[in-house]
Chains A and B, each alone.
Chain A
Amino acid sequence: MAYSSEKTQEKRRGFLDPRTKLALVLVLALFVMGGLGGDMLKPVKTGLSALPFLLLLIERQWKRFARGIVMLAVGYGLLFIMPYLPGALNYIALLCGGILTRFVVTIVMGEYLISTTSVSEFISAMERLHMPQAITIPMSVMFRLFPTIGAEWKSIRRAMGMRGIYLSGTKAGQVLEYQMVPMITSSVRIGEELSASALTRGLGAPVKRTNICRIGCRVQDGLLLFLCLAVIAIWILELCGVTLW
């Protein structure tokens, strides 16, 4: 059968719309990490905290799921053993535990967003949120360059090994220089060639850009967005002094 780009795009569509993921990250950041809301939201927050882990499972991101759980467990473990530790260790355990338990959930959510959203999906979502080209163009260039910069970094490290330049305590500054200068030089050169090629294909034209990437709200998005709104509603009710439970 002949190839159909439209059908393939539809098939490759993500489980959630990137905008839903964005809303979830925001709500988690505000309520779980930022600590908005009082007693009434407490059970809600516990439920919210489980959400990123659930989503990772749905999308079969086993490794990320395991890593998140381990980090969370370490955090709570530290808080649990903290009272039994002497002096300075006590503080360190406490601080690490406190920060981990607080930040991990939202960071896992962020990781979920990043790992399950393709660059084109993300840019498409940004465009539909009416972000100006002044934001979407640099961001798409960045996403395109991240892997390249990583590869350059690796290639430079190898070259240093071959030239016999190793990281040793005394020369840390020099090693940083040796690493950074070629990395920046080659990244900038690659970036220049990339711009030339993009501009000859009409990037930056003053027309409304199309995006063939398929995104859009479906049932699962609706449910989760409703959940986000519900959390905010409960918070507002609480602020107004209404007690629900």
Chain B
Amino acid sequence: MVELKNVSFRYGNEETQVDNENCLRDVSLSVKTGEFVLLTGPSGCGKTTILRLINGLIPQFYPGEVIGDILIDGEETKDKELYDTALKVGTVFQNPRTQFYNVDTTGELAFGCENRGLSEKEIYTRIDKTVAHFHMEKLMDRSIFHLSDGEKQKIACASVDVSDPDIILLDEPSANLDYDATLLLREMIVQWKAAGKTIIAAEHRIAYLWDIIDRAVIMRDGRIVRELVGSEKDGLTPDELYSMGLRTTMTESPSDIQKDTFRKEDTPITLKKFRFSYRGKKQPIVNIPLLQLAEGEITAIVGANGAGKTSLLNCLCGLEKHCKGKLQYKGKNYGRKARRKLCFMVMQDTGNQLFTESVLDEVLISLPKNTVHEKEKALELLQSLDLSDYTDRHPQSLSGGQKQRLAIACALASGRKILLLDEPTSGLDYAHMQETSALLQKLRDMGTTILVVTHDSELIHACCGRSISL
């Protein structure tokens, strides 16, 4: 049983800046043993904060001011050491690439029990049980660096399962997963529920959980605004959902959305002989002998984790030396190096492509040399991307969505005609997804051709006119 009694929380202390996002205001919530509760709401509403209060990361890891009581089975967690709370609470985090402590999968599964000092024999037995239960023999004894995101997330869940806590917290576990991996994740959660675990999930993508939860708790600005159970939950109309800032409750595979890749009336951009394989692998990850894309359209690229979507973007941008493909744009052939000046990719880790000390500088270094009135131009661009309030901010201090917009501003400043985006809406709420979609449409209307790799069916419906399935 988990109880929050009149909890308020603010990150940081008096010395550091006070961050009003993600704070909690007088939240009371009680989750019964064996119950499955979904926390949802727009970004910054405080759902992740609640999970951190339960697993003790607040205040032990993320300092801040906690008012009120957080009780697990009647015991206060605030003052407990993290390793004591860990005996009862297990957490699966959002980013599959950053939650592993070990470099091999078996070690990762054993990790929680090793820290508790359980006997070797006991740990082996537990691992074998989990492996058999979740059918993951093929994932064992592998390097975590050679797993897809979906497989990593499965290992993360299994690692929690081996530790066998009573309470399992899920912090946006599906944000980086494709449709099939999301369904596998759902399967694991169903098994936990059947085993009587108490489960609390924070999610934007609520569709895959909607029919297995006992209760949905909807939050906004640090408060609980609505709780839904039973028929109330099932009877929600899309408009009601959107007004609460929620995403759809319908599951739909992105590859089931029927869109043409190319229509007769389209102006073609032609890809010829795009072929790329990783070093030491015979099977090419990208193999496109000939493909026509529509110029001036937004094309979605869909496919499972590991189907080579990101690799294709890398090849298109001219970042893979061994990919010898040619791209024909407006009747001109572009080789690898020429494509570097034609295409621009907004990467998944947008932070890695921003280098300077201010938003304005970032755009300035992208403008071609000898631009006249460069500052005015840069400011104008920032204005058109809603970034004019942030011109002096450090790029690395921006939110994910702002970083994306800044990267796009740089692409436009350097005069790129083809814009590639890698999962621009992973982990975004409904409003931010709509914003991204509106921005992409605006860019399309300005004449930019856009390719977007995505698992997000809602984004495809909202803005993509064409689609390719890899």
Residue ranges of A at the interface with B (Cβ–Cβ < 8 Å) = 2-6, 8-9, 12, 118-120, 140-141, 143-144, 147-148, 152, 155-156, 158-165, 177-178, 181-182, 185-186, 189-190, 193-213
Contacts and interface: CB of A to CB of B under 8 A. Distances in A.
Contact of B118 (A2, A204, A210): A210
A140 B114 CA distance: 14
Contact of B117 (A8, A12, A193, A207): A207
Chief secondary structure at chain A's binding surface = helix
B349 A193 contact: no
27 contacts: A3-B132, A8-B140, A118-B104, A120-B104, A152-B349, A162-B340, A178-B355, A181-B396, A182-B351, A182-B396, A185-B396, A186-B349, A193-B95, A199-B57, A199-B82, A199-B86, A201-B90, A201-B101, A202-B86, A202-B163, A204-B82, A207-B116, A207-B117, A208-B117, A209-B114, A210-B118, A210-B119
Nearest to A182: B352
B87 interface: yes
A201 B115 contact: yes
B131 interface: yes
B354 interface: yes
Given A119-B102, A144-B100, A5 B124 contact: yes
Interface of B: 55-57, 60-61, 81-87, 89-91, 93, 95, 97-104, 106-107, 109-121, 123-124, 127-128, 131-132, 137, 140-141, 145, 159-160, 163, 314, 317, 319, 340-341, 344-345, 347, 349, 351-356, 365-366, 396, 410, 414
B141 A12 contact: yes
A201 B86 contact: yes
A228 B396 CA distance: 52
A66 B366 CA distance: 45
B123 A143 contact: no
3 A-B pairs with least C-beta separation: A205-B83, A159-B353, A202-B86
B341 to A, nearest CB: 8
A135 to B, nearest CB: 16
Contacts of B365: 163, 165
A174 to B, nearest CB: 9
Given A155-B352, A159-B347, A200 B90 contact: yes
Contact of B111 (A12, A190, A201): A201
A5 B352 contact: no
B352 A205 contact: no
A185 B291 CA distance: 38
Nearest to B111: A201
B351 A185 contact: yes
Nearest to A194: B98
A199 B85 CA distance: 10
B340 A4 contact: no
